[in-house]
A and B are shown apart, each in its own frame.
Chain A
């Protein structure tokens, strides 16, 4: 089943969509000054969405 999603490009498109939302998260946080809390929130975005290997 994974092959169908991969060969049709559906998996790649879904990952790209997810990453667009992750970029939205980063943009929303861009207005805040650097802090430990900010780094933690950015880390969550990165580890959950941007580092997901397909």
Chain B
């Protein structure tokens, strides 16, 4: 029954996303943005926003503009991430910069971020705009830190800081903004912000763990020089001693299968 309800909510989210007004965009930029939004995804952030609004007794319709803002900003940062990480695919399809070129990809990401802030402003609540503006800044800083620490051994503390900035901050906003527009009191907004924060950091760790379980992503992380939590633990582990060198020396440059001729 719960799964059925979640499926229904996801359909509600998907429909709202399909009806996003892109009429003001030049067709040159509309095409990559539609492509990105149609690749789907789990829509976790909108779902959490909707459910948080309902949890504090609010009307789900009031959460539509905030969740659209969240999803647009999320997709904008995914495009930029894929370009920085040189990822060739996203959700099983060619990444935007592969399908439309790097320049259009960067600009499509910029447009999605600004569209997100437009939907935030349409809520008429300056707290929503401020929260999302601060969150966008946190996410960009998370990517900057991740790039800075690439190919360097970092502490668990630094890893968790990056995980919060990159992932936790947007989940935090999703839950908190749902509570805000749903009419939650200050304590409820704080509780749901804490929920989102922890959900988002856990999500980043899950991504690392899932990468190891499936194999391919863990290899990509090592090749990219991205520090994962299991890697930090493995390098700190006493298991290493007496097993020869297993220090981390990530490959320089793109792996052979990613090099372009």
Contact = CB atoms under 8 A, between A and B. Distances in A.
Interface of A: 1-2, 4-5, 7-11, 13-15, 17-19, 21-22, 24-25, 28-29, 31-32, 35-41, 43-45, 48-49, 52, 54
A49 B203 CA distance: 8
Interface string B7-35: 00100000000000000000000000000
Contacts of A8: 233-234, 237, 239-240
A4 to B, nearest CB: 6
Interface in B204-261: 205-206, 208-210, 212-213, 215, 218-219, 222, 228-234, 237, 239-240, 246
Given A29-B191, A41-B52, 11 more contacts: A1-B215, A2-B215, A5-B234, A11-B212, A13-B230, A14-B228, A28-B194, A32-B188, A41-B55, A49-B202, A54-B213
6 contacts: A14-B205, A15-B209, A17-B205, A21-B201, A21-B205, A52-B210
B131 interface: no
Contacts of A48: 202-203, 206
A13 B191 CA distance: 27
Interface in B172-214: 187-188, 191-192, 194-195, 198-199, 201-203, 205-206, 208-210, 212-213
Label chain B's interface by main secondary structure: helix
Interface residues of B, number: 45
Nearest to A45: B199
Contact of A17 (B187, B222, B229): B229
A43 B239 contact: no
Given A1-B218, A2-B215, A40-B6, A25 B51 contact: no
A21 to B, nearest CB: 4
B82 interface: no
Contacts of B202: 18-19, 21-22, 25, 48-49
A31 B3 contact: no
B5 interface: yes
B195 A41 contact: yes
B71 interface: no
B47 interface: yes
A11 B231 CA distance: 9
A33 B194 CA distance: 17
A45 B48 CA distance: 11
B198 A5 contact: no
Nearest to B229: A14
